[in-house]
Amino acid sequence: MAPTLSTLAALLATLASHAAATDVWTVNCAPLTVQLSDPIRNPGEPSGHTHSVVGSVAFARYMAQDAAQDSPATTCDKATDHSNYWAPQLYQMLPGGGFLQLPFTGMVAYYTNYTCDYDSSGSCPTDGRSPAAFPPGLRMIAGDSERRTLNMSDLWQAAILMETGNGGEVYGMPTTLSDRLSGHARFPSCWDGVNLDSADHQSHVAYPDPALGGDTQGGMCPQSHPHAMINIGAEFGWSVAGITDPSSLVWANGDTTGYGFHADFMTGWQNPDALQQSFSNCFTNDDCPWRSFGSPTGQDPDPTPLLPLTPAPLTGLGYLLPVLSLPGNNTVYKPMAIKGRRVD
């Protein structure tokens, strides 16, 4: 069942309370669609697993480079953010067999200025870091769908966390559940300055360099990817109300560990200069002329659920009516005994 707007607002408010007030911006987005599509990894074809999507109404299996930016509307509360953000959908493995979609409640992206350009001095400026707005057309993926183990030394993996309720971020699936679960992906914030995408959708971007004190949330960019970008921490939420056993949950890619969670970003910011100026000049709420990001009223609108312009392909994806296998036929990692029954 779709969450009501008030549930969504409450969820977003709770998520937003995590962030310090002054040095983080939030982009709050209502759900757009849940479908077997991934225009970055599988352009024009069904994707390998079901995705939960927010942002531009132009989202479709194939998207030309400017499609998101040129689209007429977004489910996000920043009027000029027509980006698309997506992540694997969360499923419940039913005791009697079958997989049921859990209600996707939207996404909150925290935008921060914690990353600085590579500099041979090896230290970020003390008077503030000035990461750039995303180059138009940038596409990237955080995390790795194939991962089923944890290696904290790998920043691409350290960037993927989960949280239930306000229990704090954890690596892997939480061991207890409150009424909601969120999957978090910190996107790389360093760019090679040349490529808007790459074959693996990752090598054109990087995390700040650990050798220079960097981590998944900020620091100095490596020399190989010297250009600092705004750092995005994206948190996708699902309702798990009434579910007490986390081992009955599985991500759409078959991952039960949480380590294989990942997220995709396709920028669609309509005015990169305005984003850049607002990001460079102000973080506090209402005293900034650019704060509204182009909203006609000067206020952030509420995140609004909308339908994609291209209707989602009609496929049984376990919404309301369970499906017998995960769409895309993904194998459940380490099938677990649930109430005495194996779920394969």
Q: Which residues bind ligand NAG (CB under 6 A)?
A: 23, 113-114, 128-129, 151, 153-154, 283, 325, 329
CB of 61 to ligand NAG, least distance (A): 16
Q: Which is nearer to ligand NAG, 13 or 21 (CB)?
A: 21
CB of 35 to ligand NAG, least distance (A): 15
Q: What is the dihedral of CA 87, 247, 170, 41, to 10 degrees?
A: -20
Q: Which helix (H) or strand (E) holds 10?
A: helix 5-16
Dihedral sign for Cα 28, 6, 253, 338, please: positive
CB of 23 to ligand NAG, least distance (A): 5
Amino acid symbol at 87: A
Q: Which is nearer to ligand NAG, 12 or 36 (CB)?
A: 36
CB of 327 to ligand NAG, least distance (A): 8
CB of 154 to ligand NAG, least distance (A): 4
Q: Which is nearer to ligand NAG, 113 or 145 (CB)?
A: 113
CB of 329 to ligand NAG, least distance (A): 4
Amino acid symbol at 334: K
Q: Which is nearer to ligand NAG, 86 or 283 (CB)?
A: 283
d(CA 138, CA 230): 12
Residue with the two structure tokens 């700040």: 208
How far apart, in Å, are the Cα atoms of 212 and each of 160, 201, 266?
A: 21, 24, 28
Report the phi/psi class of residue 286: left, alpha or beta, with left for phi > 0 and alpha for psi in -120 to 50: alpha
Q: Which is nearer to ligand NAG, 236 or 279 (CB)?
A: 279
Q: What share of the chain is helix, strand, coil (3-state, %, to 5)?
A: 10, 30, 60
What are the structure tokens assigned to 242, written together?
């009434």
d(CA 307, CA 31): 9
Q: Which is nearer to ligand NAG, 22 or 297 (CB)?
A: 22
